[in-house]
A and B are shown apart, each in its own frame.
Chain A
Amino acid sequence: MTEKKHKQIFIHGAISSSFIAESIQKHSSKTNIGAHSIFLGQVRSDSINDKKVIAIDYSTYEEMALEKMHELREGIFAKYPLTCMHIYHSLGTVAAGEICLFVFTSAIHRKEAIDACEEMVELIKKELPVWGKELFEDESHQWKVNK
């Protein structure tokens, strides 16, 4: 038995604004959609003990993450009447100010799109096996902790 191939969500490096714009554009033919909800996670330049974060280096346990994402996606689709949902997460180095997470839900009406988007972001933060290593100006680092 071959293992089921899950949809890829990882993008190497930052998620560009043109990629996001194109994703939105692609939905213009789906005229039953009345609302999109988009969450964009941006790398924040925190100051920790007077050292500034200049980038985050993301890594994952890819096989597990894609399996988990498949499960989370099915849960969200079962709960909300969505037309579609797209999720992208960066891997590798993403500089402060760049986008590292893109969650995009679409539905007939706004409430489902907004609620599903919010819930998916929370699930990603809590359940997706991804780790962020905060890189400082002086080349030292620390492992990010999600709040």
Chain B
Amino acid sequence: MPINITAFGQISEFISGTISVDKVNDTDSLRKHLVVQFPSLKDINYAIAVDKKIISVNTLIEENATIALLPPFSGG
């Protein structure tokens, strides 16, 4: 299924817009899939937000979920 993934901060320099990933149904498999497609991710300690909530354990990705890739915050 196509998953709508939005990237922020430094990750937005190499991932932008909606990227389509197949055979991915949870956040752990998404991570594995993304690092193959975007090897630069290997060096970034990023969090994943599913529907605006940062997840701390492997989470199922429902259809139409909004996924965001969040590198460490640096506001203020």
Q: Could you list which residues of chain A lie within 8 angstroms of chain B, going by C-beta atoms?
A: 41, 58-61, 63-64, 67, 89, 100-101, 121, 124-133, 143-146
Contacts and interface: CB of A to CB of B under 8 A. Distances in A.
Nearest to A144: B74
Contacts of A67: 52
B70 interface: yes
A130 B72 contact: no
Contacts of A64: 49, 52, 68
B75 interface: yes
Interface string B31-74: 00000000000000000010010000000000000001011111
A143 B76 contact: no
Contacts of B68: 61, 64
Given A89-B75, A101-B76, A146-B74, A63 B9 contact: no
30 contacts: A59-B8, A59-B12, A60-B8, A60-B75, A61-B6, A61-B49, A61-B70, A63-B52, A64-B49, A64-B52, A89-B75, A101-B75, A121-B76, A124-B75, A125-B76, A126-B73, A127-B73, A128-B76, A129-B8, A129-B49, A129-B73, A130-B75, A131-B8, A131-B9, A131-B71, A131-B73, A131-B75, A133-B10, A143-B74, A145-B74
Central interface residue in A100, A126, A144, by most chain B CB within 10 Å: A144
A131 B9 CA distance: 5
A143 B75 contact: no
B75 A132 contact: yes
Given A64-B49, A64-B52, A146 B72 contact: yes
Contact of A125 (B9, B49, B73): B73
A63 B12 CA distance: 17
Contacts of B74: 130-132, 143-146
Nearest to B12: A59
A61 B49 CA distance: 11
A61 to B, nearest CB: 5
Contacts of B71: 131, 143
A97 B70 CA distance: 28
